[in-house]
Amino acid sequence: MKPFSYERAASPAEAAAAAARRPGARFIAGGTNLLDLMKLQIEVPSHLIDVNGLALDTIEPTPEGGLRVGALVSNTALAADPRVRRDYALLTRALLAGASGQLRNKATTAGNLLQRTRCPYFYDTAQPCNKRRPGSGCAAIGGFTRQLGVIGTSDACIATHPSDMAVALRALDAVVETVQADGATRTIPMADFHRLPGETPHIETALQPGELITAVVLPRPLGGRHIYRKVRDRASYAFALVSVGAVVQPDGTGRVALGGVAHKPWRVEEAETELPRGARAVTERLLAGARPTRDNAFKVTLVERTLGSVLAEARG
């Protein structure tokens, strides 16, 4: 690791202000992704701001009938919360599909949203990568692309976002709450939180420099059947080739979000109008404009078949 300085923040606003004052600073909580990246010198923060003492580790009801999940709630605690298990089962199932029990004990809600891609070329510092070094090129394009994106990609990046939790939050229409360096707060819909790569794949979210996530807000429960289906190369501790998060109502309507196919959790609301017609009709709308490679063209078919399995389960 490269040398870095360290401080503990006393409040969310103080943490955001400290990050804005120190270029190259990073927030650290569970550290399940950041520490690995620091060991590999992919991330080389000059300053770490410890946010573990900010009392953002509770799950509370909102006046609108939803839940406010603190940024520091662990993945284990969130998945096990009785209210989440009852009313947001999609979220519980997505969380339990991710990582290992030990990692879920440490990983936080905010950190899960902010984890970086597992593209092998991003992790190989001998290869060019526009995420690691903007303007250096993308070694994945023309390389081995089986695990990489099929839609929403660009000529600068074809990486995918690895979070299972984020797929569920996108389907549930969650909202991210933040505090900025000047102390002002704002809310960011999950639909707008993660960015597509375009020409700036190193800018992965809508967060401004120094901005700190304080909570994720779940709206009123949707009801219906909640299903998360993750297809991967081995049964545990692996990232999705394709995942489908769905909430299906008794009349066949519902919501669908995908993981493993794009730079962000992939949801196209217009495609959901096709749910009563079946998986093929939905997939055609969901993946319209897809640009798969020779290595990962199978993902288009895999989305349709996985979604078909999910819809069959939802219908009993």
Q: What is the pLDDT of residues 5-39, one digit of tens each?
A: 999 999 999 999 999 999 999 999 999 999 999 99
pLDDT higher than threshold 90 for residue 316: no
Q: Three-state SS string across 267-297, please?
A: CCHHHHHHHHHCHHHHHHHHCCCCCCCCCCC
Q: How far apart are CA 53 and CA 11, in angstroms?
A: 8
Per-residue confidence band for 237, with pLDDT thresholds at 50, 70 and 90 = confident
Question: What pTM was computed for the model?
Answer: 0.97
pLDDT higher than threshold 90 for residue 112: yes
What pLDDT, on the 0 to 100 scale, is given for residue 57?
A: 98
Per-residue confidence band for 44, with pLDDT thresholds at 50, 70 and 90 = very high
Q: How far apart are CA 39 and CA 41, in angstroms?
A: 5
For residues 148-162, b (16+ Cβ closer than 10 Å) or e, as one string?
A: bbbbbbbebbbbbbb
Average of per-residue pLDDT across 42-59: 97
Average of per-residue pLDDT across 127-140: 98
- Taking all residues of the chain, what is their mean pLDDT, rounded to a whole number? 97
Query: Over the stretch 82-106, which tens digit does the pLDDT of each residue have?
Result: 999 999 999 999 999 999 999 999 9
Per-residue confidence band for 235, with pLDDT thresholds at 50, 70 and 90 = confident
Dihedral pair phi/psi, residue 200, rounded to 5°: -130, 65
- The one-letter amino acid code at 241 reads L
Largest CA distance in the chain: 58
Average of per-residue pLDDT across 117-138: 97
Query: Over the stretch 249-308, which tens digit does the pLDDT of each residue have?
Result: 999 999 999 999 999 999 999 999 999 999 999 999 999 999 999 999 999 999 999 999
pLDDT higher than threshold 80 for residue 222: yes
Residue 200 tokens, joined:
């700036």
What pLDDT, on the 0 to 100 scale, is given for residue 236?
A: 85
What pLDDT, on the 0 to 100 scale, is given for residue 1?
A: 77
Query: Over the stretch 158-215, which tens digit does the pLDDT of each residue have?
Result: 999 999 999 999 999 999 999 999 999 999 999 999 999 999 999 999 999 999 999 9
